[in-house]
Amino acid sequence: MSERTSLIVGLEGLELLPQERSFLADARPAGIILFKRNLESASQIRALVGAARDTIGADALVLIDQEGGRVQRLRPPLGRALPPASAYAALYREAPDRAVRAAWLAARLLADDLRDLGIDTDCAPVLDVPVAGAHEIIGDRAYGTSPAQVVALGRAVGEGLMGGGVLPVIKHIPGHGRATADSHLELPVVGTSAAELEASDFVPFRALAGMPAAMTAHVVYTAIDAERPASTSPAVTSRIIREHIGFDGLLMSDDLGMQALKGGMRSRAEAVIAAGSDVALHCSGVLAEMEQAAAGTPVLAGAAMRRFASALAVRAGREPYDRAEAEAELADVLARHAAGIESV
């Protein structure tokens, strides 16, 4: 396996620029992440991914946020329509077994779509448990307000993605559901007791601790660390994520560029790695910022490299399924969701 930096980066546009190629060849990040600005056509996406992998190696991850609903970078006609997590939550209330099956089938279908474009990692499922009064940034991205329901549907999505050789990234560990602010814009602070967090928010992550990758939350939990968000807190990472939750997969930060964090990109990257994450994520595609982040991230080694190798191994998964059944179930969930919106 090639030597890699503990960093995943975005790209500026539709083609790999000469200066980006030079940066990737020098920094050798663990992967890249794609956004709408990078997506124009299937052939263009394959060419961009191919150029990046030619530069940094076939064992680099290619990430995308393709949850469904509000958060899907590939939209029709480039990618198929996907319902939000709340659509499966609604079906679960009527028919739990069918909802779980439908969620698995949709994820398995999505995995084929992504792999066809060269994408092997989906930043999903969301395992956050929202509460009344929380900021809407999670909202319909959640699979329910019951930890048990979130576990059932989240597991189905994660396993469906892995069944198609796509690495799922559970988020936002250890839980973003109580945040009363959007961490893209400011730092959320949660004052809930540790006991209550353990009884609710942390439950889905603990139940799915065997998943191969996770993304941290830029959220302060005052009962654990009143000074630092989870992503830069050694206490949250070691005591909660690694020990209480028991997660031993590849741990990456949420985007370093979000306004919940302070300081330059190098110091943000250093803080994430020092806290115990394996990989820092930088999404903007701004080259100067990527260079700063790269200066603050080490080469993957030891346990971090072991976890990275385990995450890569997911790409070999190929579980058979009935594609026609998957497409029919997805169409039905989309129709139910649309009917629900119209009836409001």
Burial of 77 (0-12, 13-18, 19+ CB in 10 A): exposed
- E strand or H helix at 146, and its extent? none
Residue 330 tokens read as: 């997805």
Best CA proximity match to 308, nearest among 283, 265, 275, 277? 277
Q: Which residues are catalytic?
A: 184, 254
Residue 144 tokens read as: 């329910």
Neighbours of 4 (CB within 10 A): 25
The pLDDT of residue 344: 43
Q: Are 282 and 293 in contact (CB under 8 A)?
A: yes
Q: Report the phi/psi class of residue 56: left, alpha or beta, with left for phi > 0 and alpha for psi in -120 to 50.
A: alpha
Q: Where are the alpha helices (DSSP H) in the chain?
A: 18-27, 42-56, 85-94, 96-116, 147-163, 194-199, 203-207, 234-235, 265-275, 287-295, 302-313, 323-343
Domains, the chain, with CATH or none: 5-343 (3.20.20.300)
243: CB partners within 8 A, 6+ apart:
none
Which residue, chain included where needed, has tokens 């988020």?
171
Instruction: Report d(CA 87, CA 263) in Å as an integer.
Output: 39
Pairing of strands 71-72, 66-68: antiparallel
Instruction: Report d(CA 286, CA 256) in Å as an integer.
Output: 12
The pLDDT of residue 209: 98
* Residues 35/211/318/62 CA torsion (nearest 10 deg): 20
Q: Are 38 and 333 in contact (CB under 8 A)?
A: no
Instruction: Report d(CA 252, CA 273) in Å as an integer.
Output: 9
- pLDDT (tens digit per residue) in 57-99: 999 999 999 999 999 999 999 999 999 999 999 999 999 999 9
- Helices 96-116 and 147-163, packing angle to 10 deg: 40
Best CA proximity match to 34, nearest among 77, 84, 79, 88? 79
pTM of the entire predicted model = 0.96
- pLDDT (tens digit per residue) in 278-312: 999 999 999 999 999 999 999 999 999 999 999 99
- pLDDT (tens digit per residue) in 223-272: 999 999 999 999 999 999 999 999 999 999 999 998 889 999 999 999 99
Neighbours of 222 (CB within 10 A): 13
Q: Are 246 and 209 in contact (CB under 8 A)?
A: yes
The pLDDT of residue 342: 57
Which residue, chain included where needed, has tokens 């029709």?
76
- pLDDT (tens digit per residue) in 138-175: 999 999 999 999 999 999 999 999 999 999 999 999 99
For residues 188-206, give the mean pLDDT.
Answer: 95
